[in-house]
Amino acid sequence: MLARMKPLAALFAAAVAAVVVHAEPWVVYQPPADHANGKHIVMLSGDEEYRSEEGLPQLGKILSQRHGFKCTVLFTQDPDGTINPNNQTNIPGMHLVDHADLVLNQFRFRELPDADMKHFVDYLDSGRPMMVVRTATHAFNYERNKKSPYAKFSWTAKGGGFGGMAVGESWTFHHGNHGHEATRGLVDGRNREHPMLRGVHDVFGPTDVYGVNADFPSDATVLLQGQVLVGMNPTDAPNLNKAIMPLVWLRDYHGASGKTSRIMCSTIGAATDLKSEDLRRLFVNSAYYLTGLEVPKKADVTIVGEYAPSMFGFNTFKRGVKVSDHESK
């Protein structure tokens, strides 16, 4: 009996090893087969502060299971597959943007190897759309390889780098008192009938309003304005001493290829902000609109599974989490 069991044990061990070896360092959320809409979204998680490594998997689940999008989430990670938002140079899977219908960019101060960055820039110049969320206005920071051909995308570069080129703003300043004054999203009345605002009325987030520069681009279509609150609760009063600032807007990016990309920018969008139902709906509506699909009258944005995001802050990420831990169970 023991002799028979040894070959079976060896076979089982080989099968397990094969699974480990071939596990991909990213997560794919497949839609139900009878609900797939044929669109693929690649989500780029990589910021030290706002827990995109928690928020984007939940958004990917909602978009796939409720709306039929195939969603692939990439993570900043160490070589062993442990998620580490402080690792600014290692985000496996950037080649997957080559065939994406939409990219959601939530980077902050990343410095990718040139081979990986080429995939990002080729996508940006392809005429396909992008969602630029919160810190992605300052997505890149070239400090290690300042002679890289992609150093011009650094937030410190002339014109504001990627943010200045794509959405008209790079890093500016905290208009709200960071960690003490939350944000209320107000629909811009001039664009209240825009499809991306369907079913969007009550947007709140504990992250603060970002300021914008005086030369904010005149060709931007502002969908939401950000109002500073006097506290961190949705019932807190507005701080009337602080002006409203553009919070969500659309803009066309004219790439080096001569093609034009539709870019949506939202400076609200931390993992904790996504507890706001209408903010989740805005992001889902954006995915429909930017990929050329009809936006629902009121998109279902019910949370999939459990969602208890960590509070934003440096080094508040959960230690020891593997990319594989985010796979659908």
**Strand ranges (DSSP E) for the chain?**
26-29, 40-46, 70-74, 102-107, 130-133, 183-187, 203-205, 221-228, 245-254, 260-266
What is the average pLDDT value for the chain, to the nearest integer?
93
183: left (phi over 0), alpha (psi -120 to 50) or beta: beta
Residue boundaries of the structural domains of the chain: 16-172+246-309
Which H or E run contains 282?
helix 277-290
Cα 280 → chain centroid: 12
Secondary structure letter of residue 240 according to DSSP: T
Task: State pLDDT tens for residues 266-311.
Answer: 999 999 999 999 999 999 999 999 999 999 999 999 999 999 999 9
Taking residues 15-27, what's their average pLDDT? 57
C-alpha 128/C-alpha 105 separation (Å) is: 13
Task: State pLDDT tens for residues 39-69.
Answer: 999 999 999 999 999 999 999 999 999 999 9
Lowest mean pLDDT, pick from 15-29, 92-106, 179-193, 240-254? 15-29
